[in-house]
Copies of this chain bind each other. A is one copy, B any other.
Amino acid sequence: MSTDTRRKHRIVVIGSGFGGLFGTQALRRRDDVEITLVARTAHHLFQPLLYQVATGILSEGEIAPSTREILAKQKNARVILGEVTEVDLEARTVTSQLLGTDTVTEYDSLLVAAGSGQSYFGNDDFATYAPGMKSIDDALELRGRIFGAFELAELARTEAEARRALTFVVVGAGPTGVEMAGQIAELARRTLKHDFRRIDPTQAHVILVDGADTVLPAFGERLGGAARERLQELGVDVRTSTMTVGVDETGVELRGPDGHTTRVEALTKMWAAGVQASPLGAQLAEQSGAGTDRAGRVKVRPDLTLPGHPEVFVVGDMISLDDLPGVAQVAIQGARYAAKEIGRRLDGEEPQGPFEYFDKGSMATVSRFSAVASVGRLRFHGFVAWLLWLGVHLVYIIGFKNRITTLLHWAVSFLGRGRAERAATQQQVFARRALDEVGRRITDEAGEKVRDAS
């Protein structure tokens, strides 16, 4: 301790997702660094299971452990809560804001892992009616809307109203969209089967829409076909080569492969179609001259640094490099690469050479007991892929206790038919602007007196 009185190397990490967290942890053994992790949420988010929070299987705590708690024993790291509003590459400072108060943190090395948000391809007004699936807020909002839709259907006064309440549109047939569509279908057909008296929840209409001509395009034709078949067995109405051209309070406008636009009345819509890199990306690109691609991702150098700024690494969903996919492994491997590079520099070693992504494979669940997985040249689907999915996700869920409760909740949902986490806040039920407007419209339109059917 007394042998080293030099100032420690200050590292700021932006983001508590896979990149930020794994990057910080990769530096845990270095006592010559001082890490400040700045994030806008106090939790790490295990995003691959977010759809299970949205559909009542897991609690938010199970996939969102406290970042501070995860890092409690890593003495060289501290965590501060705040939204990063500015990175000044010249001054080497990061400004973050919490409840109106700015905090400025200086760095010697910077690791930016701020991730991405939903992209509505320029139609930002869609967001009100079709929330994305990027945060705990999104998942809880969707959970309230999905379970709430069945409640509204039970109270509907006309067939058309009930049908509208029981129609769910999922835009985007990537893993998240496929998982959501599959889960809503199972919810309707299994979980809620006996819960209602007037409506038949199994009649819910789940529509999965994508502009591409296949489901799960990244998984190739064979697995995409298998996923589509399984979804159709579950009753999901899969509409590929179909563009979502309008989203409003009460429905969507879809333009099919024949060029015709049809309107679908649907109370509940969700958006899993596109991503847009954190706006920090554009800020970094502008200051460094790096440039961005259409999704706002920064064109980094092969070693993940900004041009002219070897001290700034950008990883994960925010970068445009070699067509890397927006998956957890890209963020984790990138962050570990950056952490290692920072360590080598401090040790006076040579650079490791350009970042190389090792594709460990990818997988998506379609329904219980059924998934698709692509590992190297191998392609699995069905039960074997599902077991693989189960194992991998259990390993990556952080914390022993979360593994146990998650396993239990999975047993409840997959072996039984319950959903343990269905509670909605009143705020969600009564203050939802979009649905509220629908309610008012329904009231205004319906001039007749309500007659109870009993």
Residues of A that sit less than 8 Å from B by CB:
10, 34, 36, 40-43, 56, 59-62, 64-66, 68-69, 72-73, 78, 80-83, 98-106, 135-137, 140, 147-148, 151-152, 154-155, 157, 194-198, 399, 401-402, 404-405, 408-409, 412, 416, 418-427, 429-430, 432, 435-436, 438-440, 442-443, 446, 449-452, 454
Contact = CB atoms under 8 A, between A and B. Distances in A.
A78 B423 contact: no
Contacts of A429: 40-42, 81, 98
A80 B438 CA distance: 19
A99 B436 contact: yes
B42 A422 contact: yes
Contacts of A421: 59-61
B420 A100 contact: no
Nearest to A402: B420
A80 to B, nearest CB: 6
Contacts of A152: 98-99
A424 B140 CA distance: 11
The 8 A-B pairs of least Cβ separation, nearest first, read: A99-B439, A100-B439, A59-B59, A61-B421, A64-B423, A78-B197, A81-B151, A72-B194
B100 A442 contact: yes
Contacts of A62: 59, 420
A424 to B, nearest CB: 6
Contacts of A78: 196-198
* Of A62, A101, A419, most B-chain CB atoms within 10 Å: A101
A47 to B, nearest CB: 13
A423 B99 contact: no
Nearest to A68: B195
B450 A103 contact: yes
Nearest to A98: B155
B106 A452 contact: yes
Contacts of A438: 99
A452 B105 contact: yes
A95 to B, nearest CB: 8
B408 A136 contact: no
A425 B141 CA distance: 10
A440 B41 contact: no
A18 to B, nearest CB: 17
Contacts of A83: 430
Contacts of A106: 452, 454
Nearest to A194: B72
Contacts of A82: 155
A30 B5 CA distance: 81
Given A66-B422, A194-B73, A439 B405 contact: no
A62 B412 CA distance: 13
B72 A450 contact: no
